[in-house]
Amino acid sequence: MARESFANRTTAILAMAGSAIGLGNIWRFPYMVGQNGGAAFILVYLLSAIFICVPIFISEAYIGKSTQLSTFGAFEKLAPGSAWKWVGLLTVITPIIILSFYSVVGGWSLAYLFKSLTLSFTDASATQEVHGAVFGALVGNKWAGIAWLTGFLVLNFGVVTLGVSKGIEKFTKITTPILFVLMVAIVFYSLSMPGAKAGVDYLVKPDFSKINGHVMLSAMGQAFFSLSLGVGTILTYASYMKKEENLVSTGVYTAVFDLMFALIAGFAIMPAVFAAGIEPGAGPGLIFETLPYIFSTMGRDFPALSAGVAILFFTAVLFAALTSSVSMLEAGVAYFVDHKKMARGKATALVFGFCWIFGSLCCVSTRLFDFCDRLTSDFLMTFGSLLYAVFVGWRLKKADVLQEIPRPIYFIVRWIIPLVIIAIFISNLVMKG
């Protein structure tokens, strides 16, 4: 049977962007910026995204495209009998851990959609303390957290077992542009708040003394997380690309879309954070304390709009999160189906069960949540990306690789990326020790 392939480049880019654009852009990016000193972090993030992530994206995609196979098979075909196929293990473990804590945040998004539907964010006189307390109550009530997490996982499970991923993708083609437009509108609204200027300065005036090994690792990790790199997702999607398609432009387009969403989220959130007097380093709750503040003050200026914007916004966020989380769930399921010859239903139930238990533990323990959040982006995805770069730069035949990857990018993949990632890893180990 002929293998399916994406009809054209636009479809490939849209599928990859669907996986890339998610809570990583809207939830994680603003909170990371706030915890790591603002503009200096953004600068390192942008440099990593352009000079490190795009070449890694191209390398990872090259492995999938040239073999038309997903991770385990691709490594086995390119380096038969070697230990490289074990890189495939990262494709199973990492997405499942991510999905566990990602579902906690997905659950919060679901809870906030429900709160907007019940018109909880329309009181223009509500202070930032009130919104902070609402989030605090959600996190403080472990059972509620677990219930919302379960809701989010059931949605994922439903999408995968009913085989409606394609339908969801169609829907995302509508909700993602809506999300974009709403976020741009929120940027303008947020910029108009009294005191917003300090937030803009925070985003554009770098304080270079803030850059250290830890900030560099966090910025790089955020870039990997946001582009879904180093865990085989891009590799698998690229395996569906047609021969004549260009990896470089696909990588650049996907990265540009993804960066745009992150930066816009930053400019939507940070000015309002400063205007409201919220602590920028508040952590994972940052957007859930800030957005309701934005929506409810909107009610003072545009009463009819406030609830509508909130409902539409959280609906769009939910869909963006679903296209990312479904791609993680599929990665886990595919492993058990393809390599353990498990029935699809059983495999899905197994991954669901693990994520439900582990996600619930992340709900109960903030420390476990933080640990998984950092472990995956700062270590597992970064390490996976390093392995992909070393494989393409050192293991594969140069002449073959150069047919698809331009020489300067090949040079970066072979020399710069391994050196930079190893240097940053070492500097973090030294700092901790």
Cβ proximity to ligand TRP: between 329 and 421 the closer is: 329
Cβ proximity to ligand TRP: between 34 and 332 the closer is: 332
Calpha distance 271→249 (Å, rounded): 33
CB of 406 to ligand TRP, least distance (A): 25
Q: Which of 24, 37, 107, 292 binds ligand TRP (CB under 6 A)?
A: 24
Q: Which of 22, 38, 64, 107 binds ligand TRP (CB under 6 A)?
A: 22
Task: Select the span of 14-22, 342-350, 366-374, 387-395 touching ligand TRP (CB under 6 A).
Answer: 14-22
Cβ proximity to ligand TRP: between 94 and 150 the closer is: 94
Residue 265 found at the interface with ligand TRP (CB under 6 A): no
CB of 99 to ligand TRP, least distance (A): 9
Cβ proximity to ligand TRP: between 65 and 414 the closer is: 65
Q: Do 189 and 294 form a contact (C-beta atoms < 8 A)?
A: yes
Q: Which of 231, 263, 264, 309 binds ligand TRP (CB under 6 A)?
A: 231
Q: Which of 15, 20, 53, 347 binds ligand TRP (CB under 6 A)?
A: 20
Residue 98 found at the interface with ligand TRP (CB under 6 A): yes
Burial of 284 (0-12, 13-18, 19+ CB in 10 A): buried
CA quadruple 249, 250, 251, 254: dihedral, nearest 10: 120
CB of 373 to ligand TRP, least distance (A): 11
Task: Select the span of 18-26, 54-62, 160-168, 361-369 touching ligand TRP (CB under 6 A).
Answer: 18-26
Site for ligand TRP in 311-330 (CB under 6 A): 324, 327-328
Residue 30 found at the interface with ligand TRP (CB under 6 A): no
Cβ proximity to ligand TRP: between 231 and 263 the closer is: 231
Calpha distance 119→126 (Å, rounded): 13
Task: Select the span of 22-30, 104-112, 266-274, 357-365 touching ligand TRP (CB under 6 A).
Answer: 22-30
Cβ proximity to ligand TRP: between 298 and 329 the closer is: 329
Which H, E and C letters describe the chain, residue by residue?
Answer: CCCCCCCCHHHHHHHHHHHHCCHHHHHHHHHHHHHCCCHHHHHHHHHHHHHHHHHHHHHHHHHHHHHCCCHHHHHHHHCCCCHHHHHHHHHHHHHHHHHHHHHHHHHHHHHHHHHHHCCCCCCCCCCHHHHHHHHHHHHHCHHHHHHHHHHHHHHHHHHHHCCCHHHHHHHHHHHHHHHHHHHHHHHHHHHCCCCHHHHHHHHHCCCHHHCCHHHHHHHHHHHHHHCCCCCCHHHHHHCCCCCCCCHHHHHHHHHHHHHHHHHHHHHHHHHHHHHHCCCCCCCCCHHHHHHHHHHHHHHHHCHHHHHHHHHHHHHHHHHHHHHHHHHHHHHHHHHHHHHCCCCHHHHHHHHHHHHHHHHHHHHHCHHHHHHHHHHHHHHHHHHHHHHHHHHHHHHCCHHHHHCCCCHHHHHHHHHHHHHHHHHHHHHHHHHHC
Residue 95 found at the interface with ligand TRP (CB under 6 A): yes
Residue 19 found at the interface with ligand TRP (CB under 6 A): yes
CB of 424 to ligand TRP, least distance (A): 19
Task: Give the largest Cα separation in the chain, rounded.
Answer: 66
Number of residues that bind ligand TRP (CB under 6 A): 16
Residue 226 found at the interface with ligand TRP (CB under 6 A): yes
Residue 183 found at the interface with ligand TRP (CB under 6 A): no
Q: Which of 101, 189, 202, 225 binds ligand TRP (CB under 6 A)?
A: 225
| Shortest-Cβ-distance residue relative to ligand TRP | 24
Residue 266 found at the interface with ligand TRP (CB under 6 A): no
Q: Which of 103, 150, 218, 233 binds ligand TRP (CB under 6 A)?
A: 233
CB of 325 to ligand TRP, least distance (A): 7
Other beta carbons less than 10 A from residue 259's beta carbon: 21
Q: Which of 66, 100, 103, 228 binds ligand TRP (CB under 6 A)?
A: 228
Task: Select the span of 45-53, 68-76, 141-149, 223-231 touching ligand TRP (CB under 6 A).
Answer: 223-231
Q: Which of 25, 48, 70, 156 binds ligand TRP (CB under 6 A)?
A: 25
Question: Would you tell me which residues interact with ligand TRP (CB under 6 A)?
Answer: 19-20, 22-25, 95, 98, 225-226, 228, 231, 233, 324, 327-328
